[in-house]
Structures are given as structure tokens and as C-alpha cells.
Amino acid sequence: MATDYPSLFRSEEMSLVQLYIPGEVAHDTIYELGELGDFQFKDLNPTVTAFQRPFTPQLRRLGESARRLRLFRSQILALSPPWNAFDELEEKLRQHEKRLNEMNRSWEELGKRKSELEEKKWVLRETAGFFNEAEHRHTEIRTSFDDGDGTAPLLEHAAEYGTLPGESSLAGFDLEFVAGTIERTRMPTFERILWRVLRGNLYMNYSEIEEPFVDPVSGKETFKDVFIIFAHGPELLAKIRKVAESMGGTLYTIDSSQDKRANALREVAARLEDVDQVLYNMGQTRRVELSKIAEGLEAWRDAVRREEEIYKTLNLLSYDPGRKTLVGEGWVPSRDITAIQLALRRAMETAGTSVPAILSELRTHQTPPTFHRTNKFTEGYQTIIDSYGVATYQEVNPGLFTVITFPFLFAVMFGDIGHGFIAFLAATAMILMEKKLLKAGLDEITETFFYGRYIIVLMGAFSMFTGFMYNDIFSKSLSIWQSGWEWPSNSTGLVFAEPTGHTYPFGLDPNWHGSDNALIFTNSYKMKMSIILGVIHMSFAICLQVPNHLHFKKYLNIYAEFIPQILFMWSIFGYLVVCIIYKWSIDWSQSSTAPPGLLNMLIYMFLSPGTVDPKTQLYAGQGFIQVVLLLIALVCVPWMLCLKPYMLYKEHQRIVAQGYHGLAGQENGHNRVSTSNDLEEDEEGAGQAVAEPEEDEHPFEMGDIIIHQVIHTIEFCLGCISNTASYLRLWALSLAHAQLSEVLYTMTIENAFLFEGNAIAHTIFLVIMFAMWFTLTLAILCVMEGLSAFLHALRLHWVEANGKHYMAGGYAFTPLNFATLYEEDEQ
Amino acid sequence: MGSFLHVVFVGIICAALGAASWFATPRGKNQVLLRSSVLLSLTCCYLMWAITYLAQLHPLIVPRRSDLRMEY
């Protein structure tokens, strides 16, 4: 049945095939195969470096085109319609790039000019301020000298002395100076250096320019300061200039006369206006050019990526320049060989030749890749399993069962009708708007949730079911059916419920809710449930070994591993499960014995085998049964440990005795001869392709086998105990979830309900509390608790279940596929 | 009073449903997935229900509370 249709149960059967592709159809063939996405090419020239491969020049040209596209992309954000032939494309890209580069260059130049002019404008403006201020100060200094205050600072002395020659003039500033701009961050250093270099013989003033200067290339903003330094003597001035230049400052020549400065300012303003005009026009043309490129950009990028992929694949083939044929080898799903042959014929038609590529199947001993055909529903679940490890070829795939067991175990921890419904709604919304969301593109976190939408939808659905079981909706309960308990009316104080003679038919009795001892009951119930579900889940996982052993014809493993394992499991923990169920089904009020504690029973089963206290015994003959079970478990250990190595050893001895030492190697050689018979003439090209590396046959090593078996046995026996205990996380998490949601409820809404005050205040308080409760329900209970339950469910699947049967020793099938290429591209 | 027989009875119903779904799933590439999913869901839900039901069948403790108020 499994062979009729592909299923997730086992990975696809794969075939190793060989392709002879005539040179003229090579490109189209690879193109068609890439569109089909079903062919994984093997590298036939692993020894040849990337530079020596035949299609490297084409790849290099494509790399160049890709670089151009990246350049354009970094400059525009736009979408695209259709695309034309590739060779044209290359030419087009080159021209676009040239034009764009030219524009960029002049843009930069103009930008630089503009910022220089801006700076000059600021310098002119600010220095005017300095001059005015200094003029004002001049009189101040005079007065301070008149006071005979000897503590005037050095700087002002310098200024004072500097002004001496021109004292008579009104401006009084024929003193020499240097003006310019410098980055604000460098200002303090600049000042300090100048001070040291000139030994304080300067008068310096600076002010900050409020607007930042934008670098036209990088777009970085820098803040600058205008400075003006007065000093005396050409030597000092030269020093100042040098220092300023070395610190990256720009100097501007400023005249000390006010008229000339005003003139200069006017002139600069006029030039700035011109440059602004030119820049504006330039920006317009640049925008037009870019929008023209934007039209085709996306399609061009796809095309370039596709071509690159094609040539990379062509490089994997072995090339025979003499006969102009390429020989390729690769894995295909056996089921799809017909489809691939059709694709080859299509390629021949597109190329317009009459020689198609020829496909022939090879026999091989190599392990084929693992290929699970997933759809959008199963994809997420398979990813859960694949992140643990890729299945060995044709191994039973736990992904198939994960589809249900994962959401179910999650729901056991997350059980709440309300929270489940929220998760279910959110996932349903994502599924319904699937296409829209896919097109719109999502950010990383939403993308993760979106990827798991089909997991979340089942998690939500199962959570609603378990919510009904726990009778929990936002920490409240539902009373749907006849309850098993009744509170006596008109009594206060400590009250015990009276049984009504019913058993609540579906889920937990609502009368447990809110009772003082509810936790005692739910704890016992959830703990036992975790153990039962855990043992059944693990047993199921152990049983999944059987189809594997049957399929790989390792019958030895069934009776040397599977049977003792399942016996071991069930003689201890299976027995516990049976006892739990048996204890539940007994009406202890009618019984003559007291109900036994099952945990103690299990412990004493080991500590004092054979003796059971008759007062708390579960059933007659319990002691004997327990001894038998214990003996079975004990026997299973050496059974698991010794039988397999012994049987393997015996088989090996038999083979050696019959003299078939290198059996596997001979078979391999025989295959090679038969395949290369078809290509007798083509010894160098095809022969090389067919000569497959022999799978290295491990020699028989008794030591390895024994060590492996010892580890395996110890792991299993200890694992049984620790893994069963590990399932108690189901109890712990569901308990935590229920308690957290109850605490949240009492802390928020319940407070609001019990609030006493006037109606308006009550209403406002209620609304606020409701908003708080709802946000926290979403953020903490649904998202955070959900994530933690998800992780624990993940662990239960990876460690507790997969560890029992899943070998996960395969490698994934990675076909040449353009569809996934586009997806990657979008990200 | 509920009894253990109810659990067996519901179990038989679930088994019957499972068997019916086994034959009802249409042939096609999703047949295996559908079958295994339906069977597993039935098993999981049945187990959960049965455990909950059994746990309350012969309760060893009685709910008790001290915050009841008089009826008026």
C-alpha cells in the first residue's frame, strides 16, 4: 500500500541515476530539472578546484551581474513585472550601472561643495558675532585694567596686547586671526593642543553650529563648531593652521572688515542657492533612473540567481570536451523517474535539437538521501523531527505520529478551554489569511508562529478538549452534566460535599473547583495520568522499532532488543499503570482492605520482593505476581546485553568458516563491471563517473559491538526509569498553568467584582482590571506558558520517544530547486 | 453510578469509530496520514477521558470547603 502513494511513514525510495546530456541541451536540461525540483546532483569532480571547473567564467559574469543588482537594490525599494532574455539583461545592467555611477559621482561632488559653502556661511555668520563681542569686550578690558586688577587671565592679556597696534582704529581688529570649522568632538583636544603649542599666546573663540552636516555619500551626520583664533605673528598663525588642518578642520579666509564680510556672506549665499538648484535637478533625474531600474529589478534578480544555480550545477557534471557531452549523476525519487524523463524531453524541445539527454539507472551500495514528501500541513511537524535528526533512509518516520501526539502532549500541559480557543482562533486566522500573509511578508517572530500555524491549530483544538477534561475555562469551571457531589444547604464552616450517586460523565467534576482539597485530588489525578500517558507513549515508540527491523530484515533485533525492552518496560511501569487503573476501578468503601499507596507498592516490590502487607494489598496473590515480574525484568537485562553480540559473533564465525571473507567488496566490483559495459568506448568520461567510491565496509569488531550493546542496555534500563519520571512534567506544567490562571483571575477581575464603591468607579475599575487580565492572559498564559509547554512537548518527543527507536542517521535530500531558491531570495 | 463497564463500552465505540475511519479514508497520497491521525486522536482523547472518568469513579476523598454562605 505504501508503495502506491508516497506517505510520511517511510522516506521515499531513491534511485541513483546517470544522465548523458549533449552539450547543446545542457543548459535547458538543468533548467527543466531545477523547475521540477526533484534531482539532487552529485559532485563528479570533487578533486577539481572551483577555478578549474568548465563553467567558471559564466559564473563569474553572473556574479558581476548579481553585484550590480545588489547595488541597485541597495538604492531602490520597488517591485517588478516581467523579464526578458538574459544576454540583453547583462548589457542593460551594465549601462544602468554606468549611468547611475556617473550620477552618484557628481551628486557626491556637488554635495561636498554644498557643505563647504554651508560651512563658510556659518563661519562668516559666527565670526561676525565674535567680532562684535570682542569689540564690546575691548572696552570691558580697559575698565578692568583701570581697576588695577592684576588677576586678569592670560588670554585676555594676549587679546589686549594684540589689539595694541590698532587701538586707534574704531574696529581695533587688524590683529591677525585664523577662522574655520572643526568637528565638535575634536574641539576640546584642538583647544588643548593649541594652548600647549602656543603657550597660551592666543585668543580663541568658538560657537556651535546647530544644524548637522550630512555626508553626501554615507549619509552620516556630523556636528561642527566654528572657531576663530586670534594670535600675533605669522609664525604662530602658521602653527595654528597646521594644527587645525592636522585635526581635520577646514579653514576659511575671512576678512576683518565688516563690509567685506557682508559681501562675502552674500556671495556665498548666492552660490549656495545655485548649488541647491543643481542638486535638486540632479536628484530628480536620479530618481527617474532608479525607478526605471526598479521596474525590472526583482525579475532580474530571480533570473540571475537561477542562471547562477544552473551554471553551478553544470560545474558538478563531468565534462567531456572532445564529445561535447556532460555526464551527471544524482539521486532522484524512484517514483518520479517518469516525470524527470518528461522534463528531459521538454528541455530537448526548448533547445530545438533532436538529441535528448539520456537517463539510466545505476545500481549502487551508497546510502541514498532521505526524502519525505511533506505538504504545508505536515511540513511543520516534520521540521520538529528533522531538527532532532534526519531519518535514516527508509526508516520509520516519527513525524507521521508527531502530527497528533505533539499537539496532544502539549494540550495536556496547556489544558484550558479559553486559552486553547485563543490559540485555535489565532492559528485559524493565520491559515485563512495564509496567501495574503505569505505575500505581505512577515517579521522574524511572526514568521515563526506563521510557520507553525498548523501545529498551533491542532494544539489549540486539543487544548480545548483537555480543557473540557480539566473542566477549566479561564480558571473557572463549567457545569454541564449532573455533578457527582452536592453541597449540603444551610450549613457553614467546614462543609463536606455529599455524593449524589452520579459520576460526572465528561471531565472533572465542577464541584471540585474551589474546594479546599481540590489540589490534592487534581494532583493525584494528573500525576497518575502523566504516568499512564507516558508509559503508553514510550511503549508505542518502542513498538515502532518492529517495522524498522522487519523492513531492514534485521530479525535478530526483534528478539534480541525489542522483546526484552518491551518486557522490561511493562513488567515494571506497565504493571504500575495496570495497578493504577485497577485501583481506580475498585470501590474501596466496600472493600475489606485499605487502598494501598501505589508508589510505596512499587518501591517495596524492589526492596522486599514477595512480601506484601495483607492490610493494604491490592489483590490476592500480589506478592507472587510481583516476584515473577521482577524476575522477568531482571532476566531482560542480560538478554538485552548478551544475546545480540553473541548471535553476531556466531554469524561472523560461520561466514569466516565458509571462506567468504570479502563478500561485500566482490559484489560491488561485479556491479561496476556490468554498468560500465554500456559505455565501453567512453572510458575516461563516463567510466570515471560510474566508478563510485565503495562504501567502506567496517570490519567485524567484537569489541565495538559489545561496548555499543553495553551502552545501549544501560541507557535503556536507566532511561526507562528516568524517562517515566520525565513524563511527570505533564502533571507539573498543567498544574502550574491552572494555578497561574487562577491567581491571575483572583488578582485582577475578582478584585474588581468585589470592589465596593459607587457605580462609576466600579465600572472604571472593572474595565481597567478586565483589560489587565486579558492582556496578561494573552502574554503570560497563552504566549509564555504556551512556549514553555511547547518546549516540554518537544523534549518528550525528542528524548523520551525518539530515543526509543529513531536512529536519525540519514542525510536530507536537497534537490536542485528554483522554487526554494526564490523563497531564500525573498528573505 | 458509573462503572468500569462504561469505560469499556466507550472504548468499544472508539474502536468501532477507528475501524470505520480506517475504511472511510479516501485513497490518495494523504491516506496514511489521515488514518494515523484519526486513530491517534481517537486513542489520545479516549485515554484522557477514560483516565478522568476512572479517577472519579470511586473517589477516595470528598470535596470540602469552608467558604460556603447561608442561603437566604
pLDDT digits (tens, 9 = 90+) for A602-653: 998 999 888 888 888 888 889 999 999 999 999 999 999 999 999 999 998 9
The pLDDT of residue A733: 96
Report chain A residues whose CB lies below 8 A from the CB of B8: none
In angstroms, the separation between the Cα of residue B39 and the nearest Cα of chain A is 9
Report chain B residues whose CB lies below 8 A from the CB of A588: 58, 60
Nearest to B56 among A408, A412, A504 (CB): A504
Cβ contact B64–A494 (<8 Å): yes
Cβ atoms of A13 and A336 within 8 Å: the answer is no
Residue A128 has pLDDT above 80, yes or no: no
Interior angle at CA A696, CA A319 and CA A670, nearest 5: 65
The pLDDT of residue A281: 84
**Tens-digit pLDDT profile for residues B59-68:** 889 999 887 7
Say if A462 is an interface residue toward chain B (CB within 8 Å). yes
Three-state secondary-structure class, residue A567? helix
**Structure letter (DSSP) for residue A572:** I
In angstroms, the separation between the Cα of residue A25 and the nearest Cα of chain B is 34
DSSP per position, A745-791? HHHTHHHHHH--S-HHHHHHHHHHHHHHHHHHIIIIIIIIHHHHHHH
Q: How confident is the model at residue A698 (pLDDT cuts 50, 70, 90)?
A: low
Domain presence at residue B24: yes
Q: Number of A:B CB contacts under 8 A? A: 143
**Which grid cell sits at A287?**
530618481
The alpha carbon torsion through A650, A653, A657, A663 (nearest 10 deg) reads: 110
Residue A209 has pLDDT above 90, yes or no: no
Residue A595 has pLDDT above 60, yes or no: yes
The alpha carbon torsion through A31, A33, A36, A41 (nearest 10 deg) reads: -130
Interior angle at CA B33, CA A399 and CA A6, nearest 5: 90
- Higher-pLDDT residue of A253, A359: A359
Q: Percentage of chain A surpassing pLDDT 90?
A: 34
DSSP per position, A121-147? HHHHHHHHHHHHHHHHHHHHHHHHHHT
How do A250-252 and A14-22 pair as beta strands? unpaired
Q: How confident is the model at residue A183 (pLDDT cuts 50, 70, 90)?
A: confident
Q: How far is CA A364 from CA A16, A670, A678, in A?
A: 7, 11, 16
Domain presence at residue B41: yes
Report chain B residues whose CB lies below 8 A from the CB of A521: 59, 61, 63
Three-state secondary-structure class, residue A221? strand
Q: What is the ipTM of this complex?
A: 0.96
The pLDDT of residue A87: 58
**Tens-digit pLDDT profile for residues A397-406:** 999 999 999 9
**Which grid cell sits at A782?**
497563552
CATH architecture of A1-41+320-371+666-695+815-820: 2-Layer Sandwich (3.30)
Cβ contact B63–A493 (<8 Å): no
Contacts of A91 (CB under 8 A, 6+ apart): none
Quickly count: other Cβ atoms within 10 Å of residue B45's Cβ: 18
Contacts of A407 (CB under 8 A, 6+ apart): A455, A458, A459, A461, A462
Residue A79 has pLDDT above 70, yes or no: no
Say if A481 is an interface residue toward chain B (CB within 8 Å). no
Domain presence at residue B70: no
Q: How confident is the model at residue A676 (pLDDT cuts 50, 70, 90)?
A: very low
In angstroms, the separation between the Cα of residue B15 and the nearest Cα of chain A is 17
The alpha carbon torsion through A178, A180, A182, A184 (nearest 10 deg) reads: 100
In angstroms, the separation between the Cα of residue A799 and the nearest Cα of chain B is 20
**Which grid cell sits at A108?**
557626491
Domain ranges in chain A are 1-41+320-371+666-695+815-820, 119-273, 378-477+513-662+697-805, 478-512
d(CA A294, CA A563): 66
Q: Which residue of A has its CA nearest to B33?
A: A400
Say if A154 is an interface residue toward chain B (CB within 8 Å). no
User: Could you give the number of structural domains in chain B?
Assistant: 1
SS (H, E, C) chain B: CCCHHHHHHHHHHHHHHHHHHHHHCCCCCCHHHHHHHHHHHHHHHHHHHHHHHHHCCCCCCCCEECCCCCCC
Contacts of A503 (CB under 8 A, 6+ apart): A484, B1, B2, B53, B56, B57
Nearest to A485 among B32, B45, B63 (CB): B63
**Tens-digit pLDDT profile for residues B5-45:** 889 999 999 999 999 999 999 988 889 999 999 999 999 99
d(CA A461, CA B45): 12
Residue A668 has pLDDT above 50, yes or no: no
The pLDDT of residue A415: 92
d(CA A736, CA A716): 30
d(CA A39, CA A814): 8
- Higher-pLDDT residue of A260, A824: A260
Residues 378-437 of A with CB under 8 A from B: 378, 400-401, 403-405, 408, 412
Domain presence at residue B64: no
Nearest to B48 among A400, A466, A503 (CB): A466
Cβ atoms of A69 and A94 within 8 Å: the answer is no
Q: Which residue of B has its CA nearest to A491?
A: B70
The pLDDT of residue A823: 61
Say if A490 is an interface residue toward chain B (CB within 8 Å). yes
Q: What is the mean pLDDT of residues A500-527?
A: 91
Q: Which amino acid is at A531?
A: I
The pLDDT of residue A216: 63
Q: Which residue of B has its CA nearest to A466?
A: B48
Contacts of A207 (CB under 8 A, 6+ apart): A126, A129, A130, A225, A226
The pLDDT of residue A76: 60
Report chain A residues whose CB lies below 8 A from the CB of B29: 5-7, 373
- Higher-pLDDT residue of A149, A99: A99
In angstroms, the separation between the Cα of residue A470 and the nearest Cα of chain B is 8
Range of the domain at B34: 4-55
Residue A822 has pLDDT above 70, yes or no: no
In angstroms, the separation between the Cα of residue A368 and the nearest Cα of chain B is 22
Residue A148 has pLDDT above 80, yes or no: no
Identify from A405, A500, A584 which residue to disrupt to test chain B contact, counting B C-beta atoms within 10 A and taking the largest count. Answer: A584
**Which grid cell sits at A545?**
522499532
Q: What is the mean pLDDT of residues A84-110?
A: 75
Q: Which amino acid is at A421?
A: F
Specify the residue for cell string 483572583: A746
Domain presence at residue B68: no
Closest CA to A699 of A665, A650, A658: A665
Domain presence at residue B26: yes
Domain presence at residue B63: no
Q: Which residues of B lie inside 8 Å of A (Cβ-Cβ)?
A: 1-2, 4, 27-33, 36-37, 40-41, 44-45, 47-49, 51-71
Residue A145 has pLDDT above 70, yes or no: no
d(CA A399, CA A397): 5
How many residues appear in chain A?
827
Residue A587 has pLDDT above 80, yes or no: yes
Residue A3 has pLDDT above 70, yes or no: no
Mean pLDDT of chain A: 82
Say if A516 is an interface residue toward chain B (CB within 8 Å). yes
**Cross-strand bridge partners of residue A226:** A181, A207
- Higher-pLDDT residue of A492, A623: A623
Q: Where do the DSSP E strands lie in A558-614?
A: none
The pLDDT of residue A729: 96
Closest CA to A330 of A345, A313, A347, A346: A313
Burial of A52 (0-12, 13-18, 19+ CB in 10 A): exposed
Report chain B residues whose CB lies below 8 A from the CB of A524: 55
Report chain B residues whose CB lies below 8 A from the CB of A487: 65, 68
Q: How confident is the model at residue A197 (pLDDT cuts 50, 70, 90)?
A: confident
The pLDDT of residue A549: 94
Task: Pick the most confident of A31-45, A68-82, A380-394, A601-615.
Answer: A380-394
In angstroms, the separation between the Cα of residue B19 and the nearest Cα of chain A is 17
- Higher-pLDDT residue of A138, A655: A655
The pLDDT of residue A138: 55
d(CA A495, CA A812): 63
Sign of CA dihedral A440, A442, A446, A448: positive
The pLDDT of residue A722: 95
**Tens-digit pLDDT profile for residues A778-788:** 999 999 999 99
**Tens-digit pLDDT profile for residues A410-439:** 999 999 999 999 999 999 999 999 899 888
Residue A26 has pLDDT above 90, yes or no: no
Instruction: Please report which helix (H) or strand (E) contains residue A17, including its range.
Output: strand A14-22
Q: What is the mean pLDDT of residues A9-32?
A: 86
Q: How confident is the model at residue A302 (pLDDT cuts 50, 70, 90)?
A: confident
Cβ contact A497–B71 (<8 Å): no
